[in-house]
A and B are shown apart, each in its own frame.
Chain A
Amino acid sequence: MTYTFGLDTFGDRNGGADGKALSHAQTISNVVEEGVFAEQAGVDFFGIGEHHTDYFPMPAGDVVLAAIAARTDRIRLGSAVTVLSSDDPVRVFQRYSTLNAISGGRAEVILGRGSSIESFPLFGYDLADYEELFEEKAALFAELRKGGPVTWDGKTRAPLLNQDVVPHTESGPFPAWVGVGGSPQSVVRAARLGFSLMLAIIGGPPARFAAYSDLFQRALERFGRPPLPVGVHSPGHVAATDGQAKAEFWPRWRDIIALVAEERGFAIPTEESFDWETGPHGALYVGSPETVAQKIATNLRALGATRFDLKYGMPGLTHEQLITNIELYGRQVIPRVRELLG
């Protein structure tokens, strides 16, 4: 079995040594360094998730990925996720096929909504139309990815008549995934459109997704498609010891969840719930390399998954803490997980 291990970032705004937030520009240029360093540390994939907030100033991740592509040779580069519903599938295809050209065929795309919603009002979309927008745009993206002229007609963008969309991906379609947060109907849709399945598990017990893997493979069969990989995306933080990782991560996680809780109107999580999520049955991968490796191996096995992307960082963590996280993940966690999975 071939396993792939990635890192994802939302451009989490870095803290400085004095505890103050670094500028958006400094944070973004640090992400470039982190992506380049991830390759050196032995990480297989580096992903950037689209966000539009002061604490995640990362609306144009493809530009940042292009900068990383120019300084690397091997690491795969992609979105994690692209908010397709509030974007134009033609432009998304063009941006990532351009990244594919720059990087010598290393581009990937993960499509989804994420838990981020800011792009809808920003670009003039109604959240109530989310389902319709995603369904139609994902179907068009599936057509574009095949290559060749596209004829398409729908409600969400101008029609295409035998349209040649460039640049071509001569070496074949780049990998494309759909990020799914827990709706079985989304799992079936990914299979129907021929996208791989990325399970975004950010809270609650990961094992509850095991049936989704089966559902995905059975649905692929039903639609007459070959098997496709299942991946897991989850947040976490690796440091030298469990204690240090938790001490660094918890206050940052609490602050950002409190901010989002205030914006969205849900209760602020307690330290008890954090301890549960970082424990053996929770969704957060926070701890020493051994703790994190054991948890990744256990969950990949339970979920029938061959890809794991750790969403590293949290607003307020320093660039140096993130570099340490990347180094431990690449040099210790990944080899250990491979060993555990035999």
Chain B
Amino acid sequence: MSTTDTLAVLGAGHVGPVIARLAIKAGHPVAVATSGDPEDIALITELVIPGARPRWAADAVADADVVVLAIPLHRFLDIGPVPLNGKLVVDAMNYWPASDGVLKAFEGGGSSEIVAQRLVGSTVVKALNHIGYHELEDRARPAGAPDRRAAGVAGDDPAAVAAIAGLLDRMGYDPVRLESLRAGRVLQPGSPVFGTVLTLADFERAVREDARSLR
């Protein structure tokens, strides 16, 4: 993907605005949508996400090259797959029962694999879920900076993974590609990379050790 590609960020809570700002800074046109009227988030976008355009979700998705899901996972269950058909979808959500409660639909499996099963017509990539929203912007660094940190991207479609790896790089992180959504379970709550911000070397070591422990 190139910087002319448009992102639709779904969600204006803790996470959505942070991702939207990083994408704007990386040069992308960004629309932000919630389940309601864009007028309700006009003030939020003006002051907290300058440069983003508040839109109805259906319009934002229709015009987007990439859709970022930054909504609570239980709200995802209310979304039908059809509006997202044909889209590259970044799943930034987490199944985190200790923090958000148990969801039967997500018990026993990788949450992004279950998201992908529901979004049959979309290409799903897991990214931007494992660094806290309070740190995501502050830890971003330009390519080559000595204290640059790593961010994971997982998916079953190599072209989609490459596209989002490029986005992460432009946002300020060294992308670490994982070859499947199954392998992306290492980015979930409970794993050694979740909730911390690691250098590339430390991140790759943690992923390797996690893979070994799963064998």
Question: A2 in the interface, Cβ–Cβ < 8 Å?
Answer: no
**Counting CB contacts under 8 A, is B37 at the interface?**
no
Q: Taking CB as reference atom, which chain B residue is nearest A120?
A: B101
Contact of A183 among B14, B96, B98 (CB under 8 A): B14
Contacts of A127 in B (CB 8 A): 99-101
**What chain B residues lie within 8 Å of A270 (beta carbons)?**
196
> Does B132 lie within 8 Å of A204, measured CB to CB?
yes
The answer to the question of B148 belonging to the interface, with a C-beta cut-off of 8 Å to chain A, is no
Q: Does B127 contact A (CB under 8 A)?
A: no
- Determine if A204 and B98 form an interchain contact, defined as CB atoms under 8 angstroms apart: no
Among A128, A211, A215, which residue has its beta carbon within 8 angstroms of that of B100? A128
For the complex, give the distance between the alpha carbons of A218 and B47 in Å.
Answer: 9
- B41: chain A residues within 8 A (beta carbon): 185
Shortest distance from the beta carbon of B207 to any chain A beta carbon, whole Å: 13
Name which of A18-26, A46-54, A70-78, A258-266 contacts chain B: A258-266
Q: B192 touches which one: A183, A267, A269, A281 (CB < 8 A)?
A: A267
Chain B 167-202 against A: per-residue CB contact (8 Å), 1 yes, 0 no?
000000000000000000000011111111000000
Whether A185 lies near B189 (C-beta < 8 A) is no
Q: Which of B56-64, B133-141, B151-159 contacts A (4 or more CB under 8 A)?
A: B133-141
A188 to B42, CA, bound (A): 11
8 Å CB interface, B1-53 against A = 12-14, 17, 34, 41, 43-44, 47-48
B80 to chain A, nearest CB (A): 19
Residues of B with C-beta under 8 A to A185: 12-13, 34, 41, 44
Given contacts A127-B100, A127-B101, A128-B101, contact A265 B47 (CB under 8 A): no
Report A152-186 CB contacts with B as 1/0, cut-off 8 Å. Answer: 00000000000000000000000000000111110
Assembled-state Cα–Cα distance A112/B26 (Å): 34
Task: Look across to chain A and name the residue whose beta carbon is closest to the beta carbon of B196.
Answer: A267
Give the total of A residues in contact with B, Cβ under 8 Å: 34
Is there contact, CB below 8 Å, between B47 and A214?
A: yes
> How many of B's residues come within 8 Å of A, CB to CB?
32
Within 8 A of B (CB), among A234-278: 261, 263-267, 269-270, 273
> Which among B101, B191, B196 is the interface contact of A126 at CB below 8 angstroms?
B101
The answer to whether B74 has its CB under 8 Å from any CB of chain A is yes
Which residues of chain B have C-beta atoms less than 8 A from A266's C-beta? Answer: 189, 194-196
Q: Does A228 touch B at the CB level, under 8 Å?
A: no
B114 within 8 Å of A by Cβ? no
> In the complex, what's the smallest C-beta–C-beta distance from A132 to chain B, in angstroms?
11
Partner of A212, one of B48, B96, B134: B48
Let me know if A205 is at the binding interface, CB within 8 A: yes
With contacts defined as CB atoms under 8 Å apart, how many contacts are there between chain A and chain B in the complex? 82
A203 proximal to B (CB < 8 A) = yes
Interface assignment of A219: CB less than 8 Å from any CB of chain B: yes
Against B, the Cβ 8 Å flags (1 = close, 0 = not) of A207-223 are: 01001101100110010
B120 close to chain A: CB less than 8 A: no
Question: Are the C-beta atoms of A182 and B14 separated by less than 8 Å?
Answer: yes
Please tell me if the beta carbons of B47 and A204 are within 8 angstroms of each other in the complex.
no
Q: A222: nearest residue on chain B (CB-CB)?
A: B43
Shortest beta-carbon distance, B1 to chain A, in Å?
A: 27
Beyond A203-B132, A203-B135, A204-B134, is A215–B195 a contact (Cβ under 8 Å)?
Answer: no
Collect the chain B residues with CB atoms within 8 Å of residue A218's CB. Answer: 43, 47
A341 contacts B by Cβ under 8 Å:
no
Bound-state CA distance A185–B42 (Å) is 11
Residues of B whose CB lies within 8 Å of any CB of A are 12-14, 17, 34, 41, 43-44, 47-48, 72, 74, 96, 98-101, 103, 132-135, 137-138, 189-196
**Can you pick out 12 interface pairs between chain A and chain B where the beta carbons lie within 8 Å of each other?**
A128-B101, A130-B100, A183-B13, A185-B41, A203-B135, A208-B138, A211-B47, A215-B48, A261-B195, A264-B98, A265-B96, A270-B196
